[in-house]
Amino acid sequence: MKTLFRRVASHWLPTSSLLVIPLLALSAPALASTLNQNVSWTIDRAGTTAKYRVVAYGDSIYAGYNGSISNAARYAAPTVDSEYLSARWNADIESIRRAKSGAVAQDVYQNKIVADRSYMQAASTRVVTFEMCGNDGLQARSSFKSQTGTCSYAGLDAAVNSCKTYVAAAMDYINVNAHANTRLKVISNLYYPGYNADNVQSSCTDAGTGQTVSLRDRFLPAIAKMNYWMCEYARQKGFQCADSFAQYMAADYDSNADGVVDSDALRYVSGESEASYINRTTVTLRSTLRDANAKFVSSSSSFDYIQSDDTHPTYTGGTVTAGLWGGSTGSGAPRYASFTNGKSPIWNNYGHERMGWALSVYNPVAP
């Protein structure tokens, strides 16, 4: 079973001489431009008067990037989460997405979280969420892939360190600046788009062995380090961590007969060490990792979580204006009146629906 919503967005070519479309995370070359894609969408539930706010900061993932310079997914992950909140609280939920496609972690921190802090300072704010670091990895990947001669791993190390620096800074800043009414602060970590495509050898050679190296063998531990520190800093600083890596990169059944569903086994364990997490996700459970273009929700059914650019999450529910011609503000009735067992009928059918559900499991019972 393959259910897709695809937008073609080649990640190898610029769209024009004036603008290069930004792409996220480890499966495209470094690109020169960024694109603000800010959206406000209110889940307008019939018969309600209270309205609360979800504020989401990030890059092209939270933007709902779909290959267009003028529009984006209406139901990107934070707005999907807002639907869950609306049902739980029987309230209208305003989903504010302040996102910049192509932005590295420093850019998201400085020009979205800090510069757009007023959005989370509103008294109606109840949830603040962010994601970042994908483009740091993208640029490091591009640089590494183009290397010839002796391989240098400094770019990958720098990407990891930048991610750690700005994730921690972002959490500290949100802790100080989010309104006191905020009930939940949550980060989403990185999945690995292009997992299959990266199963090739480098053009450079390792200084110690004199041999080329597997791109995937180099990139996977780097992503694991970023993801560990996203979740570990969350634990230390009063955030929750929605583990998108586990949600996207492993099946929802026990494929290796170890007694645990693969996607559950892959999740960050609160308080574990960096060494333990990296060994578990990149060595012990390596055989259970799968490219998210075929996310198996059972042993016989799969859905495509990645658009045809092999980078961004699939989605459904139409688009909104977001990009060169500004952002948009709108509202609409929730797609579902209620959620059986806390899951929509399509919770695992699309990448953004899955990420939105992963955020929703931490939603407070009451506003």
Angle CA(350)–CA(352)–CA(356) in degrees, nearest 5? 120
Beta-carbon contacts of 150 under 8 Å, excluding residues fewer than 6 positions away, are 204, 205, 206, 207
Give helix 134-145 / helix 215-237 axis angle, nearest 10°. 160
Instruction: Give percent of the chain above pLDDT 70.
Output: 91
Query: What pLDDT, in 10s, does the model give residues 197-226?
Result: 999 999 999 999 999 999 999 999 999 999
Q: How many residues does the chain have?
A: 367
Beta-carbon contacts of 284 under 8 Å, excluding residues fewer than 6 positions away, are none
| Residue indicated by tokens 């529910």 | 317
Tokens of 141: 């990947």
Q: Contact 264/251 with Cβ under 8 angstroms?
A: no
Pairwise CA distance, residues 185 & 13, whole Å: 37
Q: Contact 129/359 with Cβ under 8 angstroms?
A: yes
SS3 55: strand
Query: What pLDDT, in 10s, does the model give residues 67-124?
Result: 999 999 999 999 999 999 999 999 999 999 999 999 999 999 999 999 999 999 999 9
SS3 235: helix
SS3 107: helix
Segment 325-340 shows an average pLDDT of 92
Pairwise CA distance, residues 288 & 281, whole Å: 9
Pairwise CA distance, residues 59 & 51, whole Å: 26
Q: Contact 164/106 with Cβ under 8 angstroms?
A: no
Tokens of 307: 């658009």
Residue 326: the pLDDT is 84
Residue 29: the pLDDT is 29
| Residue indicated by tokens 């929802």 | 252
365: which DSSP letter?
Answer: S
Q: Which among 363, 325, 321 has a CA at the least distance from the CA of 343?
A: 363
Model-level pTM?
0.90
Query: What pLDDT, in 10s, does the model give residues 134-159?
Result: 999 999 999 999 999 999 999 999 99
Question: pLDDT category, 7, cuts 50, 70, 90?
Answer: very low
pLDDT at 8 over 60: no
Q: Contact 148/203 with Cβ under 8 angstroms?
A: yes
Distance of CA 104 to the CA centre of its chain: 13
Question: pLDDT category, 268, cuts 50, 70, 90?
Answer: very high
Instruction: Round the average pLDDT of the chain to a whole number and report it.
Output: 91
Segment 304-315 shows an average pLDDT of 97
- Considering the four listed CATH numbers 3.40.50.1820, 1.10.10.10, 3.40.50.720, 3.40.50.1110, the one that applies to the domain covering 35-360 is 3.40.50.1110
Q: Which helix (H) or strand (E) holds 220?
A: helix 215-237
Q: Contact 344/317 with Cβ under 8 angstroms?
A: no
Q: How many CB atoms lie within 10 A of CB 325?
A: 10
Tokens of 311: 């980078």
Distance of CA 24 to the CA centre of its chain: 9
